[in-house]
Amino acid sequence: MPSLPDGDRGLARERTGLAWERTALGFAALSAVVLGVAAHRGKPGLIGLSVALVAVGLAAWRHGQRSYEDAAVAPQARALGLMALAIALTGVAAAIIVVAD
């Protein structure tokens, strides 16, 4: 495989930025679903969960923007760990909502 020139790192930055944007879009969609459930079932407590999901989505989107703007492509272990924690907490919240209903 030929080596890349110093200024050309391929499309890694673009792929990383797009992956974070997809994650943000997923959280936004999940927030809309939770908000719909809150409206149809008359559960105002779910509005807080929806707002939290929007906040996580915005954080993921902003992280993706910063990843795209950064010239260096580096591992993002902390960001991935925080996103995994957010996803796990979302699953726990969903399980609690299903069981409590």
pLDDT lower than 70: segments of the chain: 1-10, 73, 101
Contacts 24+ apart (CB under 8 A), 7-10: 9/73
pTM over 0.75: yes
> What pLDDT score was predicted for residue 10?
63
Q: Closest by alpha carbon to 62, among 17, 4, 11?
A: 17
